[in-house]
Amino acid sequence: MSENLKFAVIGGGSWATAIAKMLCVNLSEIAWYMRNDAAIEHIQKYKHNPNYLSSVEFDTNKLKLTNNINEAIEYADYVIFAIPSAFLDAELKNMTVSLADKIIFSAIKGIVPETSLIVGEHFHIQYDIPYYNIGVITGPCHAEEVALERLSYLTIACGDPDKARNVAKTLSGNYIKAKISDDIIGTEYAAMLKNIYAIAAGIAHGLGYGDNFQSVMMSNGIREMKKFIRKVHKMKRNINDSAYLGDLLVTGYSVFSRNRMFGNMIGKGYTVKSAMMEMSMVAEGYYATKSAYKLNQGYGAKTPIIDAVYAILYEGKDAKSVFKKLTESLD
């Protein structure tokens, strides 16, 4: 790891806070962009993010906090985006500096609604960033457990292994282990799809299905994920690796999973709007469901779980009836 490398974090949520915490362990300074002026002032004064992972204490001497996305990007060699995919396009419209000489890593688990692209593809197509300068930070890892300093694992994917290693080393620490991968597209699609299956797990729980059924659904989920990703980007990968199966399991079962929480409320009878208002957080899987469903109209993979979640969230179909039918298609 080189102290000469400069990193910026874009976002003010839980993942951005967790990544800033990890970076501060190994770097003497990082730039951190967030829109919320009150949050910036609070961190500067009290050393905590008031809205997310408030137990994390920062050495503010290491933080270049700014509400100007251009300042953060100009500062850095490596720019890590960690904002909800639904808001990425709007944030990037505020950008006036070039990304041409930057290395972009995405910690975003979703699809950009405006283009129906995963984040890496969005940067490549919309901003002409070469794939060797684009990477993905994925799990299995919950930001909340990073805050608690519980042992966690990251997968860092990039077409350039040296850049992947730089990020892996910079994020690693006593309770963070990071490995690298060359499957940029596959790991990013997996990070998006697992949120849909976590919503399905939550719906099942809300409807009263038990652990026996959910184990069957998760088993079908990883096979469904494999079929989908193979259609999108065919290459040699082991779908049972932590970046795929591990991330699916932690998101589907963890009490920290906002997608599972969202699904649980839907299963209990909440409307989509009321569930979102109650959570006051973004469930990436909601947006991912529509994008994955629409994409698969062209790919033609067999995806009964995605289809079921789409029918409930976007077609207004009764969750109980949809899941009763879904149980007949699983094995």
Residues 204, 221: Cα–Cα separation, whole Å: 13
Mean pLDDT of 232-255: 91
Burial, 183: exposed, middle or buried (Cβ in 10 Å; 0-12, 13-18, 19+)?
Answer: buried
Residue of 21, 194, 268, 302 with catalytic role: 194
Residues 214, 204: Cα–Cα separation, whole Å: 7
| Annotated domain spans of the chain | 7-182, 186-329
Please provide the average confidence, as pLDDT, over all residues in the chain.
94
Q: Is residue 1's pLDDT more than 60?
A: no
User: Residue 325 catalytic?
Assistant: no
pLDDT digits (tens, 9 = 90+) for 104-159: 999 998 889 898 889 999 999 999 999 999 999 999 998 999 999 999 999 999 99
Q: Kindly list the distances between the CA atom of residue 76 and the CA atoms of 1, 3, 32, 69, 98, in Å, as whole numbers in the listed order.
A: 15, 12, 10, 11, 12
Could you list the beta-strand ranges (E) of the chain. Answer: 7-10, 30-33, 63-66, 78-81, 103-106, 111-112, 117-118, 134-138, 152-158, 176-181
Q: Is 70 annotated as a binding residue?
A: no
One of 2.40.50.140, 3.40.50.720, 3.10.129.10, 3.40.250.10 is the CATH number of 7-182, namely 3.40.50.720
Residues 220, 198: Cα–Cα separation, whole Å: 13
Q: Is 143 annotated as a binding residue?
A: yes
pLDDT digits (tens, 9 = 90+) for 286-322: 999 999 999 999 999 999 999 999 999 999 999 999 9
Look up the pTM and report it: 0.91
Q: End-to-end distance of the chain based on CA atoms, in angstroms?
A: 47
**CATH homologous superfamily, domain 186-329:** N-(1-d-carboxylethyl)-l-norvaline Dehydrogenase; domain 2 (1.10.1040.10)
Strand 152-158 vs strand 134-138: parallel, antiparallel, or unpaired?
antiparallel
Nearest CA-CA partner of 252 in 193, 202, 208: 202
Q: For the chain, what is the total number of helices (H) and then of strands (E)?
A: 15, 10
CB 156 within 8 A of CB 268: no
Q: Is residue 192's pLDDT more than 70?
A: yes
The three-class DSSP label of residue 6 is coil
Q: Is 226 annotated as a binding residue?
A: no
Give residue 282's pLDDT. Answer: 75
pLDDT digits (tens, 9 = 90+) for 78-119: 999 999 898 999 999 999 999 999 999 999 988 898 988 899
Give me the percent of the chain exceeding a pLDDT of 90: 87
Q: Is 294 annotated as a binding residue?
A: no
Q: How many CA atoms does the CB half-sphere of 299 hold within 13 Å?
A: 20
Q: Is 165 annotated as a binding residue?
A: no
Q: Is residue 3's pLDDT more than 70?
A: no
Give residue 235's pLDDT. Answer: 87
Q: What is the CA radius of gyration of the chain?
A: 19
Nearest CA-CA partner of 83 in 102, 69, 100: 69
pLDDT digits (tens, 9 = 90+) for 20-68: 999 999 999 999 999 999 999 999 999 999 999 999 999 999 999 999 9
